[in-house]
């Protein structure tokens, strides 16, 4: 099973996502990838559980949550959990949260791209892994357009890169 999600928060939106990847049979697989970006005062919380039940030998589960912080007031948290009640399994979780890399913005600026457009390109590229795995490819164009439309809130007067 593959679980995919993309989210982009702005204003005071709150995204609260919870998943359970439950394995009850032998040789089952699950792969979860949640990718999001939050700006303004928006926040996101991802809470995920990989549960391996007794008897689910040789199960393989991966849980990944990646977040971009687009402004000082935004926040994203990941709460990954593993509950493994069987041996001979492979389970892992990964989480990353941080600002847009200023070096990526700088690189694009050295190629003549304005700071705000450079940030939009980097953020749009951040969603590539999820979009490439879209199980309904006919909707990918619409999703890309939706991401671009939602990125319109970024202030054109500065790059919006969060300095840490």
Count of structural domains, the chain: 1
Instruction: Look at residue 161 and tell me if it is in a domain.
Output: no
Instruction: Look at residue 159 and tell me if it is in a domain.
Output: no
Instruction: Look at residue 123 and tell me if it is in a domain.
Output: yes
Chain segment 94-104, per-residue pLDDT in tens: 999 999 999 99
Instruction: Look at residue 102 and tell me if it is in a domain.
Output: yes
Chain segment 58-70, per-residue pLDDT in tens: 999 999 999 999 9
Instruction: Look at residue 59 and tell me if it is in a domain.
Output: yes
Report the C-alpha gap between 74 and 76 in whole angstroms. 7
**Are 74 and 99 spatial neighbours (Cβ–Cβ below 8 Å)?**
no
Instruction: Look at residue 164 and tell me if it is in a domain.
Output: no
**Are 22 and 56 spatial neighbours (Cβ–Cβ below 8 Å)?**
no
Chain segment 7-56, per-residue pLDDT in tens: 999 999 999 999 999 999 999 999 999 999 999 999 999 999 999 999 99
Q: Say what the pTM is.
A: 0.86
Nearest to 144 by CA among 159, 117, 116, 123: 123
What domain range includes position 38? 2-153
């Amino acid at each position: 099973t593959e679980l995919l999600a993309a989210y982009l928060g702005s204003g005071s939106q709150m995204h609260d996502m919870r998943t359970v990847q439950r394995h009850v049979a032998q040789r089952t697989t699950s792969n979860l990838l949640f990718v999001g970006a939050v700006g303004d005062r928006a926040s996101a919380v991802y809470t995920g559980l990989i549960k391996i039940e007794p008897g689910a030998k040789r199960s393989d589960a991966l849980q990944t949550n990646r977040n971009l912080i687009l402004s000082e007031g935004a926040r994203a948290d990941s709460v990954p959990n593993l509950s493994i009640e069987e041996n001979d399994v492979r389970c892992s979780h990964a989480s990353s949260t941080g600002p847009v890399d200023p070096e990526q913005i700088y690189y694009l600026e050295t190629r003549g791209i304005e700071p705000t457009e450079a940030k939009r390109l980097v953020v749009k590229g951040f969603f590539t892994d999820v979009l490439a795995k879209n199980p309904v490819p006919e909707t990918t164009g619409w999703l890309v357009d939706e991401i671009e439309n939602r990125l319109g809130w970024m202030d054109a007067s500065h790059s919006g890169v969060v300095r840490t």
